[in-house]
Amino acid sequence: MLTCPLCNKKAAALERECPSCRADLTLLVDYVENLAGGLVRAEELTRAGQLGEAVWTYLEVLEVDPDNATARRQVGRVVTAVRQFDRAAPGRRWLKQLQRRTRFRRWIAAWEEGDGPSWSSLFWVFLVVVALLLGIFLGQRMPPAPASPPAETSSR
């Protein structure tokens, strides 16, 4: 069902002319037909097992109509399945654990090969940390500044 943008009345079918005000609805009819065609094509791709193409087709529908419930639901299902697969795949869990365990070794190896930070940058970082700690230490040791007397105002 289409709603006429001029008279806000609903047209019973995909008619190219509003039955009440006779406004031209050709653009709206073409829009709805193309949208329906995209959904049908995506459904056919899904049934054929071409999920990648089907998802792209649903995304194209969502570009035109972001509130399309069918396309949102189907893309949401795919995203949920991919997330669950990434979390549940034993190979991925094993790889992440392995990467966490070897993080320090890879860092040391990069330093030995010369790919890590240079000694001059390490020196500057050390110098900044020492200056920061010295400032904190001196700030705690310094006595508080004496309170200045309030300024007198002359009222005449």
> What string of pLDDT tens digits covers the 156 residues of the chain?
567 777 877 776 677 778 778 777 777 777 777 777 888 888 888 888 888 888 888 888 888 777 888 888 988 888 888 788 777 777 777 778 888 888 888 877 777 776 666 677 778 889 999 999 999 998 888 777 777 766 666 655
The reported pLDDT for the residue numbered 127 is 94
Residue 100: both structure tokens together: 């966490």
Cβ contact 57:45 at 8 Å: yes
The reported pLDDT for the residue numbered 87 is 72
**Count of structural domains within the chain:** 2
Same domain, 15 and 84: yes
Same domain, 51 and 108: no
Cβ contact 61:34 at 8 Å: no
Domain that holds residue 59: 2-91
Same domain, 120 and 73: no
Same domain, 55 and 83: yes
Is 153 among the domain residues? no
Q: Which residues, in sequence order, are bridge partners of residue 141?
A: none
Same domain, 58 and 117: no
Cβ contact 19:34 at 8 Å: no
Angle (CA) 29 33 36, round 5°: 140
Q: Is 99 helix (H, G, I), strand (E, B) or coil?
A: helix
- Sequence-distant (6+) residues with CB within 8 A of 17 are 23, 24, 25
Q: Is 2 helix (H, G, I), strand (E, B) or coil?
A: strand
Same domain, 82 and 114: no
Q: Which residues, in sequence order, are bridge partners of residue 3?
A: 10
Is 151 among the domain residues? no
* Terminal C-alpha separation, the chain: 83
What span, in angstroms and rounded, lies between the C-alpha atoms of 61 and 72? 9
Cβ contact 59:79 at 8 Å: no
